[in-house]
Amino acid sequence: MEIVDLDNTHWSPAVGEAYARRARTTVLVGVSSQALPPESAHVLSALTLTLAPDGPGRFWVAPEPDDLDLIRETVTRAPGASRALASLLPLTAQLDVADALVAESLAYSMLLAGPDFRSWRAATPRREVPTGDDPVLFSREGDVLTLALNRPGRHNAFGRAVRDRLIEGLQVALLDESITQVELRGIGPSFCSGGDLDEFGTAPDVVAAHQVRLEQSAGLHVHRIRERVVARVHGACIGAGLEFSAFAARVEAREGAWFMLPELSLGLVPGAGGTVSVTRRIGRYRTAYMALTGRRIDLDTALAWGLVDAGV
């Protein structure tokens, strides 16, 4: 990780080019105590993220007092995953959705075999994943199909059964053009608490994990019919729950909803499409901020950034 003092930086093209070369192999965090001028944009665009009170475009985030400490802790705990994220986000921001999901999956699958994830998995015992009621409930009223995640006791953790059943519902909508709207909801206190941690790392090998991720991408299925999809979220909207729902054309959130990308704490990058969907909503720099700090983003901030389209 490298801290870039933007209070003492020249905005020449050569400076931006030098940072762009370094950003391929390290996390570059710009820090400024003052608002940044428009001419700083080409330098800021080369960094992983920038902490500043104001600036051009979406290159910057107004920091909390301990943001740098949180970022340092993340990079120290998961250096490989942090560097992978820093090099991945510029790619997924430029590629089309399908290709960007391939790039994300390749990075995620590589990290499954890496020391950052192995360290987390060794320190996090698995529990049995319960089975039970239908993991996603389908209901149709007129031309509206509602898909409701139905694992309330696990805060709708996005395990394989939930993912596969959700994809079934999305495929119904893809094939039935009489369905003019698809509503995504969650039953219980949370919309979705992210991937089911007890299933992480259970694929027989990372090549198989990559293949499954491409073939069973809920985010890609949402994207294919995105103009017909409304995600109505509440409570915790974490990791995969945020990532697949952010592909919807419209995301509405109830009061008290909050958002988080915690994957780096597991030694991974977002793997359910977050480097693609979230980046397209809030830009890659604020996506990097969410991932590297692990902060909860409240509804007001989500609305201001465009992560959410409306509060309800």
For 97-311, the fitting CATH number among 3.90.226.10, 3.60.15.10, 3.40.50.10160, 3.40.309.10 is 3.90.226.10
Output the CA angle 247-226-263, nearest 5 degrees. 15
Q: Mean pLDDT per segment of 10 residues, for the chain of length 312 residues?
A: 92 90 92 96 96 96 96 97 96 96 96 94 84 90 97 94 97 96 98 92 86 93 98 98 98 98 97 97 98 97 97 92
Structure confidence at residue 131 (pLDDT): 74
For residue 21, give the amino acid letter: R
The predicted model scores a pTM of 0.95
Structure confidence at residue 63 (pLDDT): 95
The SS3 of residue 80 is helix
Measured in degrees and rounded to the nearest 5, phi and psi for residue 186 equal: -130, 140
Structure confidence at residue 266 (pLDDT): 96
Neighbours of 35 (CB within 10 A): 12
SS3 assignment for 172-225: HHHHCCCCCEEEEEECCCCCECCECHHHCCCCCCHHHHHHHHHHCCHHHHHHHC
User: What does the pLDDT look like over 116-128, one tens digit per residue?
Assistant: 999 999 999 888 7
Q: In whole angstroms, give the CA distance from residue 57 to residue 49.
A: 12
**Residues in contact with 162: Cβ distance below 8 Å, sequence separation at least 6, in sequence order:** 135, 136, 149, 151, 156, 196
Neighbours of 139 (CB within 10 A): 12
Which uninterrupted H or E stretch holds 103? helix 97-112
SS3 assignment for 13-73: HHHHHHHHHHCCCCCEEEECCCCCCHHHHHHHCCCCEEECCCCCCCCEECCCCCHHHHHHH
Structure confidence at residue 289 (pLDDT): 98
Neighbours of 9 (CB within 10 A): 17
Any idea where the domains of the chain sit in the sequence?
Answer: 2-94, 97-311
Structure confidence at residue 290 (pLDDT): 98
CA 286 vs. chain centroid, Å, equals 11
Pair 271, 263: CB distance under 8 Å: yes
